[in-house]
Amino acid sequence: MMLPETDQTLGDAGSPTDAEVRHEAGAYYKRPMTIVRGQGATVWDDAGRAYIDCVGGIAVANVGHANPRVVAAISAQAGTIMSCPELFHNDVRARYVTRLAAVLPPAMDRIFLTNSGTEAIETAIKAARLATGRSGIVAAMRGFHGRTFGALSATWDPHYRQPFGPLVPGFRHVRFNDVAALEHAIDDTVAAIIIEPVQGEGGVHLADPEYLRTAARLCQQHGALLIFDEIQTGFGRTGRLWAHEHVGQDGAATVAPDLLCLAKGIAGGVPMGAVGFGPRVPSFPLGLHGSTFGGNPLACAAGLAVLDEIAAEDLVGRSAEMGARLRSGLEALLPDHPLIREVRGLGLLIGIELRERVQPYLERLTDLGVLALTAGSLVIRLVPPLVITAEQVDTVIAACAEALR
């Protein structure tokens, strides 16, 4: 077929809404709005209306939309070289893995680069099976790890899994934060335990420090590996660079994973993921795993800019500060907002659990100029860019007070 010249119009579809409905393969619930631009923690629709963006690209836009440092890095790299597969060394990739390794947990100094979160999970599962020669994976109820077959097998929600069976064998789900269930599930057939330190999609549930420490101890005892899925919680989202760093803040023992999965906020919106390999995980034998786009210089340049921006603007500290402000403002609504069951979260990953389904309230928030996410049917999830200002935080609190009245 001859390709016609690029047509900048929407053909006979009329509007972006009609065009997407007609030409996309379904799968997404879409809100009836067309977002065309972003800056910092604000996005605009095609009618020019501004919204405070507590969706943040689903916890991706940590450094803010149109971040100048990221824009400059991508522009410069696009004009230099974008495609350089891992068949060759590359200067930008070399700088990126060096830089990322320096901020990973101690002794985690090897990295496999991917293009998304689900691919990072696939990589970690394969690395764990290869390292241990075992197939068992213990995951948590309400956990979410992605939608490709390995990751989907670790994801809990039957709604996502059930139509696609048979899934990958060897996966078991145990109650989150249930130490006894974890002890019961682990044996010498288990390759890995996989945990989100804060369950994001599953409702914003924080792992107890003791639960994470127990998981680490059981993995050590049974020769299994501990995988932390910090795809949503990484890069400052929770007020620490990595969410598992909150463990041990009270002076008690810290915890470190053997495999650390990252994505979302890693590259300022450019698709990218990464898996950190700790000392108990051998490197992949040559040729056994790979990705055409993984480690491409464009994503690596964006990733470098993100790490620079997080350091230069202290976005981790900012996430802690703005997260505390947002959470305490929302908690103050509890006495005269009986609709709110609980406010919970860490840093700028915040869940507001309601006593009713959240959908109509999300629409009210949108009308008030605030975009928010769900996390299950009863929880409103707020994951704004970490650059959100105090004034914007206060506007979000006021909008929640109004919408949830």
Ligand X SMILES: Cc1ncc(COP(=O)(O)O)c(C=O)c1O
Is 293 part of the annotated catalytic residue set? no
**Of 42, 118, 153, 296, which lies in the binding site for ligand X, with binding defined by CB under 6 A?**
118
Question: Is 117 a binder of ligand X (CB under 6 A)?
Answer: yes
Point out which span in 71-79, 138-146, 301-309, 368-376 binds ligand X (CB under 6 A). 138-146
Measured from the CB of residue 367, what is the shortest distance to ligand X in angstroms? 26
Measured from the CB of residue 233, what is the shortest distance to ligand X in angstroms? 7
Catalytic residue among 258, 264, 277, 293: 264
Beta strands in 28-187 (DSSP E): 35-39, 42-45, 50-53, 110-114, 136-140, 171-174
DSSP percent split of the chain into helix, strand, coil, nearest 5: 40, 20, 45
Q: Give the pairing of strands 373-374 and 379-382.
A: antiparallel
Point out which span in 67-75, 115-123, 377-385, 393-401 binds ligand X (CB under 6 A). 115-123
Instruction: Tokens for 349, please give them.
Output: 């990953």
Point out which span in 33-41, 116-124, 242-250, 394-402 binds ligand X (CB under 6 A). 116-124
The DSSP call for residue 5 is P
Measured from the CB of residue 403, what is the shortest distance to ligand X in angstroms? 24
Which amino acid, residue 94?
A
Measured from the CB of residue 228, what is the shortest distance to ligand X in angstroms? 10
Binding mask 192-231 for ligand X (x = CB under 6 A): ----x---xx---------------------------x-x
Using DSSP's 3-state secondary structure scheme, residue 276 falls into strand
Is 144 part of the annotated catalytic residue set? yes
Which amino acid, residue 103?
V
Point out which span in 15-23, 113-121, 322-330, 376-384 binds ligand X (CB under 6 A). 113-121
Full DSSP string of 191-213: EEEEE-SEETTTT-EEPPHHHHH
Q: Which is nearer to ligand X, 233 or 392 (CB)?
A: 233
Rg (CA), the chain: 21
Is 109 part of the annotated catalytic residue set? no
Q: Which is nearer to ligand X, 140 or 216 (CB)?
A: 140
Q: Residues 249 to 288: which contact ligand X by CB under 6 A?
A: 263
**Of 65, 145, 237, 337, which lies in the binding site for ligand X, with binding defined by CB under 6 A?**
145
Instruction: Tokens for 357, please give them.
Output: 């389904």
Measured from the CB of residue 117, what is the shortest distance to ligand X in angstroms? 2
Q: Residues 285 to 314: which contact ligand X by CB under 6 A?
A: none
Q: Which is nearer to ligand X, 200 or 295 (CB)?
A: 200
Q: Cβ-closest residue to ligand X?
A: 117
Q: Tell me which long-range contacts 73-82 makes (C-beta under 8 A, separation of at least 24).
A: 73/301, 73/302, 73/304, 73/305, 74/270, 74/298, 74/301, 74/302, 74/305, 76/301, 77/297, 77/298, 77/300, 77/301, 77/302, 78/298, 80/297, 81/297, 82/296, 82/297, 82/298
Q: Which is nearer to ligand X, 255 or 274 (CB)?
A: 274
Point out which span in 90-98, 142-150, 175-183, 206-214 binds ligand X (CB under 6 A). 142-150
Question: Is 177 a binder of ligand X (CB under 6 A)?
Answer: no
Catalytic residue among 144, 171, 228, 277: 144
**Of 144, 211, 235, 361, which lies in the binding site for ligand X, with binding defined by CB under 6 A?**
144
Please report, to the nearest 10 degrees, the dihedral formed by the alpha carbons of residues 71, 48, 62, 269 taken in order: -50
Q: Is the distance from CB of 126 to CB of 289 less than 8 angstroms?
A: yes
Could you identify the residue written with the tokens 């803010």?
Answer: 64
Q: Residues 33 to 72: which contact ligand X by CB under 6 A?
A: 58
Question: Is 185 a binder of ligand X (CB under 6 A)?
Answer: no
Please return the burial class of 316, using the count of CB atoms within 10 Å of its CB with bins 0-12, 13-18 and 19+.
Answer: buried
Q: What is the H or E stretch that residue 229 is in?
A: strand 225-229
- Report residue 145 CA to chain centroid gap: 9
Catalytic residue among 53, 228, 229, 293: 229
Measured from the CB of residue 50, what is the shortest distance to ligand X in angstroms? 26
**Of 62, 67, 116, 296, which lies in the binding site for ligand X, with binding defined by CB under 6 A?**
116
In the complex, the residues that contact ligand X under the rule CB under 6 A are: 58, 116-118, 121, 144-146, 196, 200-201, 229, 231-232, 263
Positions annotated as catalytic residues are 144, 229, 264
